[in-house]
Structure 1
Amino acid sequence: MAKFDMGAAWEDSVALLKSHTTLTGTIAAVFLFLPSLAVAWFGPAPIEPPQGATLEQISTTFQQNVWQMLPYQLTVAVFAVVGTVAILRLWLSRTATSVGEALAFAARMIPTLIGLQILTGLIVGIGFVLLIIPGLYLIGRLALVSPLVADRGIGNPVDAIRTSWDMTRDNGWAIFFFLLLVTIVIVIIMLILMGVVSVVTGTGPGIGHIVSGFLESALGVAATMVTIAISAAAYRQLATRASTFE
């Protein structure tokens, strides 16, 4: 099995981000940015634990926040997976594809995408229960499921998971650490920018809430686009090398 080349994957990721910018930017704005921004601006305010709260009260408050945000987060997640696959379709298509065609394809694959989210979430979750390390490894092994659906139109979630597993053999850790390194850089940049904005505008009601919500959504979309590009680049690299050695 060919070894995953991080340098080549990063160069391909940058090339993908620069391609179809108008088309992918439109999809990202509608399906990634606007839903997130709507929740940030109009979603329910977090419930704060009482002053001097006990551990039980803090736990209860956390559960209340999770439950009140769940419908909003699920809606955002559905928009996100459709947008992600549509963007991947544009990047990975071997023929000219319009935004409408990419979105129509992604809409047809919604049942598959929901099934994939559930199955991969369960698999990785079980891995984290088993002392965390297996969960980290599984992230790398399942990183290609979305590109596989976008490129090959695989309708069976189990088949997508099995194919990703086969393609990432001997490369699970390399893909995970590549994703981890990029994530760390993105998080540091986001924390710095959010910190500067919070100092300048504050985070309370009014302009601070509007600006911080806008920036948080924008940075989240940028981070998501980079992650999508990395998964697409990893898929293209491993798919190409696999066909070369067959």
Structure 2
Amino acid sequence: MSEQKLRIGEIWQGIVDLLRERMGLFFAVAAPFTLLVDMALRIFGPAPPATMADVTSRTLFWLIVLPGIIGSLAQLTIAGLILRPGATPRMALAAAFAVWPSYLAALMLSALPSGLGFLLLLLPGLYITARLFLIVPLALAGERTDPLSLIRTSWTMTAPAAWPLFGFFILGLVGLFGLGLIAGGVGGALGSVLTLIGLADAAQFAAGLVPALASTVVAIATAAAACVIYSRLA
């Protein structure tokens, strides 16, 4: 496959088409593993650290690692719905549970080179992450689903389109940063309004709901993007 086969515009259009047609279904499937988990941790979990000095292994686990592990089920289920025509949510969820352990193992293994790349510099980390982006769809549609095969196959499949994919990731990072700012601003403003009218509890809930909704949309879009890219490169 030539590098020209994959274009950033095609990836974006494929994501938009999928979300336009099936966003309601994707949201219903993802919300229990993303939105509800996020809100539960905001209410019952540890408070987010105010400064870097307050970051502990406990807060990292509860606020980043655990939501990521549970949220991966949403991405796998959505990938199953996209890659397996005719699959019901129940069938897609069963398939996601079946490959979940192998996917998590692959994710942990891929975190080693990606993390090293991010420690060295942001761009090498993004490049490695982009090359390993197909682990989710490969877990559902690949011929071999053991962790090392998922990593190896993703790296091989993305080789001819490495630079377009890298460019897509840079744009995606900028978009995520902007979405985070907007979601935090909207949630904070809504919380302030509710506080002013005497609804402090509702204000706290609303301030957390908006970022949680944004996180759910990001999880859905990420799974859709991985499936679109996989379909183009397969």
TM-score (norm 1): 0.82
More divergent stretch after superposition (130-139 vs 220-229): 130-139
Question: Residues 153-232 of structure 1 correspond to what in structure 2 (within 5 A)?
Answer: 154-202=144-192, 206-232=201-227
Gaps (5+ residues) in structure 2? none
Residue 2 in structure 1 maps to residue 2 in structure 2: yes
Residue 83 (str. 1) matches residue 74 (str. 2): yes
Cα offset, 1:118, TM superposition = 0.5
Matched-pair contact (CA < 8 Å) for 1:141–1:171: no
Aligned to 2:31: 29
> What SS does the corresponding residue of 1:201 show, helix, strand or coil?
helix
Q: Which amino acid aligns with 1:102?
A: A
**1:93-172, aligned counterparts within 5 Å?**
93=84, 95-152=85-142, 154-172=144-162
Q: What code does the residue aligned with 1:220 have?
A: S
Amino acid paired to 1:62:
V
In the TM superposition, residue 200 of structure 1 has moved relative to its aligned partner by 4.2
Q: Which moved more, 1:37-46 or 1:6-15?
A: 37-46
Give 1:238's aligned residue. Answer: 233
Q: Is the 8 A contact 1:138 1:172 kept in 2?
A: no
Equivalent pair of 2:138/2:145 in contact (CA under 8 Å)? no
Q: Give distance in 1, aligned partners of 2:103 and 2:223.
A: 15
Identity of aligned residues (%): 28
Deviation at 1:230, TM superposition (A): 1.3
Deviations 1:185-242 (A, max 9, x none): 2431331342243234239863332111111100111122122211111111111xxx
Alpha-carbon shift at residue 182 of structure 1 (Å): 2.8
For residues 51-100 of structure 1, the C-alpha deviation after alignment (integer angstroms, 9 at most, x for no partner) is: xxxxxxx63x223xx4245145433222211111110010011x411111
Report if the CA contact (8 A) 2:137-2:230 is conserved. Answer: yes
Instruction: Please say which of residues 173-182 and 108-117 is displaced more in the overlay.
Output: 173-182
Alignment of 1:15-94 (within 5 A): 15-46=17-48, 48=50, 59=53, 61-63=54-56, 66-71=57-62, 73-93=64-84
Secondary structure at the aligned position of 2:160 is classed as coil
Query: Partners of 1:188 and 1:41 in 2: how far apart?
Result: 25
Contact preservation (8 Å) 1:88, 1:147: yes
Distance 1:71 1:200 in 2: 25
Alignment root-mean-square deviation, CA: 2.3
Answer whether contact 1:140 1:174 (CA < 8 A) is retained.
no
CA distance in 2, matches of 1:166, 1:218: 34
What amino acid is aligned across from residue 55 of structure 2 in structure 1?
F
Amino acid at match of 2:73: V
2:16 pairs with 1:14:
yes
Deviation at 1:180, TM superposition (A): 2.3
What is the identity, as a one-letter code, of the residue corresponding to 2:82? W
State the SS of the aligned residue for 2:55.
helix
- Distance in structure 2 (CA, Å) of the matches to 1:20 and 1:210: 28
Report Cα offsets for 1:8-52 as digits up to 9, x if no partner: 111111122233444322211111211111112221223557xxx
- How many residue pairs match? The answer is 227
The one-letter code sitting in structure 1 at the alignment partner of 2:203 is G
Q: Which amino acid aligns with 2:19?
A: L
Q: Given that residues 183 and 211 in structure 2 are in contact (C-alpha distance below 8 angstroms), is that contact kept between their aligned partners in structure 1?
A: no
